[in-house]
Amino acid sequence: MIRPVGIETEYGLNCEGFSEEIDFGYEASMLVRAARVEGAFRGWDYSREDPYWDLRGIRAERLERDPHDLRNSTSKSSKMSAEELLANTVLPSGARYYNDHNHPEFCTDVCVSLKDLVAQDKAGERLLLACQQARNGSAADGKVLVVKNNTDYHGRSYGTHENYLVPRAVPFQKLVDGMIPYLVARQVLVGAGKVGCEGKVAGAAKFQLSQRGDFFEEKVGINTTARRPIFNTRDEPHADKKQYRRLHVIAGDANRSEYATALKAGMSGLVLDRLVADEDFGIRLRDPVRAVREFSRDPDLRATAELDSGEAVSAPDIMERYLETLEAQGVEGAERGWVLGQWRELLDLLRSDPAAAGDRLDWVAKRNLLDSPGGAAELDLASRRKIDLAYHLVDPEMSLYDSLVESGRMRTLVSESRIGAATQTPPSGTRGTVRGLILRRFGSHVRNMEWDSVTLELDGRTIEVKMEAVAGDVIDRLTEVFAEAATLAEAVARLESGRN
């Protein structure tokens, strides 16, 4: 089992043929509301959330906001209540689906296997496709295409975030020192690729490794939509606060490749395991903010950054050092072995025959499409960006990524049947399993939900089912109780009595 992980993805909207100004908040909300999933719960309990708490033990006075979030709001969205606009939805799969900053966002529940994570993430793509089709089939004005990417090519970036629980006992600075060089360099394996440059620092790169590389301005910080840091310090564990921190990773891309999604989570889990075990990878970048940008803008992988020691290293060099440390420690389990094996194989391939890694890595696959002889290499910037965008469309009839899969040029990890099951079935062995069971069997009694609790009503009583653990014995017991009880009253009685 790799360290438990969940992924949040904000999807982009490409809107065409509208007769009036596009209201992106309204369109995002309508897409979420277009979800026709039997057994879903509409609502979300915000009472325990506070995004102002910082891992450094302080509470921020304010959060920076992307000024673009205030634009494109017209009479449609301004007349909606906050509840209507957010359109919070909890799915039988345990996932959360809602409108976040004018983007439909799909959040997987925590997963304890990489294939479960990939299946749940792909189930999100399928849901967004169904919502796109429903919206376009019923709306009289304009067409909306859903895009799984991280940029609108006009200076605005939207996120794909990973979430990992780590013990609160691990020193904060140890996490910062250990994770930043890795997060800066890992784009060589899990970047999604991008045409051109954006952001506040001018550049002339025709192609980049990462869609997010242009948008990081700080080394460490709490913000997520402006003044973005490489290491985010939001302290909302959605679990036992005394025991855990949630490492909220915002320095990553939206991957279409199933291999890249699995590697992104698997590599990070292995690095965190060693940091928890007090490993020091011994790498300190002098200017990581500059490094993340310059690494991204050099797809030939020759760019170097200076360490505190004065040594110049490339992104592959950094990934090699992390990998060597992990290989020297050894791993147990097939999943961990797979991650290390793919890490080694792909890193070696990028040094010897980069184009051959296009069957697993998004940025390489996209670069191969753009630079193929007689293909898109000589097109102007606008035309190349259209190809870039087409790679990320969730509609398989239009998506260049899906065409690569269909032609056998892109590998996959999970079957279509497993993805289909994930649209209704939670990841196994986690609190998502409990949430899904409650929705499926006792949904009419649900009054509110959040990640670590479900509020039920029974005979005038309010019952809160707490799930501060994400997996393990407590979750196994809750799963057993809600699966076996003939009625909710029986389930509650068993929980209150402590009987299994």
Q: Which residues are catalytic?
A: 100
- Give dist(CA 249, CA 268) in Å, integer: 10
Residue-level length of the chain: 500
Q: CA-CA distance, 462 to 485, in Å (whole number)?
A: 18
Residue 226 CA to residue 235 CA, distance in Å, equals 18
Q: Do 115 and 413 contact (CB within 8 A), yes or no? A: yes
Compute, in degrees rounded to 10, the torsion defined by CA atoms 319, 342, 164, 44: 130
User: How many of the other CB atoms lie within 10 Å of CB of 137?
Assistant: 8
Joined together, the tokens standing for residue 80 give 């909606």
The first and second tokens of residue 212, run together, are: 């997010």
Q: Give the whole-angstrom CA distance, residue 416 versus residue 114.
A: 16
CA distance 441 to 454: 13
Neighbours of 79 (CB within 10 A): 10
275 vs 149: CA distance, rounded Å: 30
Distance CA 130, CA 395 (A): 9
What angle is formed at CA 103 by the lines to CA 101 and CA 105, rounded to 5 degrees? 105
